[in-house]
Structure 1
Amino acid sequence: MASLDVAESRIYDPNTLLILTSPENATQLLWSKAQPNWVCGYALDDSFPAPEVVIELLKNEDMIGWRAFWLGLLIRYLLVEGPTELGDFIRQRLPRDWPNLERADVSAWYDLARTNISEINDLIDEADEYLERIERDLFVTYRGLETFDAAGSYVAIRALIGLWFDRLRRWRHIRAKIFLRPDLYHVGRLNFPDASKLSAYLIRLDE
């Protein structure tokens, strides 16, 4: 394995999607290496829904339903907490009958996200094109995902990784940095097309 400094430098590579490290190291890295264009997509704080709440709400959903959750959560964060100009850009393009995406309560917007998943994807496509025009990149960070596994749903993690892996070529200016505990990474558990190709897009910072 490469030295820690060399491996850590790869965090900045836009194609590095998955960072395998301990939760403690993930927190330290985000404090020490985060850039102005890094925004939080999920973490264990009051800004995001508790895993138990989400698992209960989505208990009968399939992989598409879980992807709709992560997409809806991304849109909500960009509207409420993301860069002001990008939030304004997205808000101007929201259909008028989509009033709930800025609500913190997942149950307030999940059904809308699930029903309109294609439209949300298109909206993020437009946001990605907007970032290209203003020559800016945005990296969405995820940590604390082990709590979904502890609460009984690895499918939440699988859906998140699969979603962003599928969009590595689709979104060029909106990218993800997913911090995951090393023992939770296993291609057999991921169970999405081309999951075995993830090795080219991940780094290991500890064993």
Structure 2
Amino acid sequence: MASLDLTESRIYDPNTLLILTSPENATKLLRSKAQPHWVCGYELDDSFPAPEAVIEHLKNEDVIGWRAFWLGLLIRYLLTEGPIELGDFIRQKLSQDWLSRLEEANVDGWYPLIRRNFEEANCVLDELDEHLTATDHWLCVVYEGLEAFDVAGSYVPIRALVGLWFDRLRRWRRLRAKIFLRPDLFHIGRLNFPDASKLSGHFIRVDG
């Protein structure tokens, strides 16, 4: 196991995407390591949709559909729960129709809009990344509790999330993610997205 100092530096490293550890240890790490520029992308909390409900709603969707879900969830969170200045920035980039749909709590209210306009949703976050770069700020989106999707009967949401953010390591400069994942759920074969084998330099295992 890496030394504590090395482990901490790897956790904070912007290029570290996956942190493989137990759910209990993930909670401890987030309490002790969380930074002011870290925001929640998903957790098992009433603020986010239950995995079973989302899986049922997206049961006929492919990986791209699930990527659209994660993009929409992030935009919605930043609008309604995130730092005020970032919410205001995104609000300026969206039409009133988008705003009214994204402010709805139910997935079936906002997901169809994002799915139909996947590239437009991407562009909103492209502009956010450009804004963060221009103002010399970082935003790190943190995900935990993802094992609940596997328990609910689908690994596709996890595969889509990891693949989405791995692609964005090359696309975005200041918008990053920390995905806390139970070690037994991490398997390159299960991830099954282009370049998944190149993840080796972007994850760290942290024992509890």
TM-score class, shorter: over 0.9
- Could you report, residue by residue, the CA deviation over 1:6-51 in whole angstroms, capped at 9, with x for unpaired residues? 2233110000000000000000000001010000000001000000
Shift of 1:178: 0.1
Deviates more, 1:82-91 or 1:179-188: 82-91
Regions of 4+ moved over 4 Å: none
User: What is the one-letter code of the residue matched to 2:128?
Assistant: A
1:150 maps to a residue whose letter is V
Q: Which amino acid is the alignment partner of residue 161 of structure 1?
A: V
Structure 2: runs of 5+ lacking an equivalent: none
Percentage of pairs with the same residue = 74
Matching residue's letter, 1:12: Y
Per the alignment, residue 140 of structure 2 pairs with 139
Paired amino acid for 1:195 = A
Which aligned pairs between 1:121-200 and structure 2 lie closer than 5 A?
121-200=122-201
User: What SS does structure 2 have at the residue aligned with 1:136?
Assistant: coil
1:67 match = 67
1:24 counterpart = 2:24: yes
Q: Give the TM-score normalised by the residue count of structure 1.
A: 0.97
- Residues in 2 aligned to 1:4 and 1:117: alpha-carbon distance in whole angstroms: 40
Q: What CA distance in whole angstroms lies between the structure 2 residues aligned with 1:129 and 1:8?
A: 27
Equivalent position amino acid for 1:115 in 2: R
Within 1, Cα distance between the matches of 2:4 and 2:85? 36
Q: Could you tell me whether the CA contact under 8 Å between 1:8 and 1:205 is conserved in 2?
A: no
Moved more, 174-183 or 125-134: 125-134
- Give 1:2 deviation, angstroms: 1.7
Q: Deviation at 1:97?
A: 2.5
* Equivalent residue runs for 1:62-101 within 5 Å: 62-98=62-98, 99-101=100-102
Q: 1:41 maps to which residue?
A: 41
Task: Note the aligned Cα RMSD (angstroms).
Answer: 1.1
- Which protein is richer in helix relative to its size? 2
Residues 141 and 177 of structure 1 are in contact (CA less than 8 Å); yes or no, is this contact kept in structure 2?
yes
Q: Can you give the 5+ residue segments of structure 1 that lack an aligned partner in the other structure?
A: none
Quote how far apart the aligned CAs of 1:3 are.
Answer: 2.4
Which one-letter code corresponds to 1:142 in the other structure?
A: Y
Equivalenced residues, count? 207
Question: For 1:139 and 1:184, how far apart are their aligned partners in 2?
Answer: 22
Aligned to 1:203: 204
Q: Aligned partners of 1:102 and 1:169: how far apart in 2?
A: 30
Alpha-carbon distance in 1 for matches of 2:168, 2:93: 21
Q: How far did residue 95 of structure 1 move?
A: 2.0
Indicate whether 1:117 and 2:118 are aligned.
yes
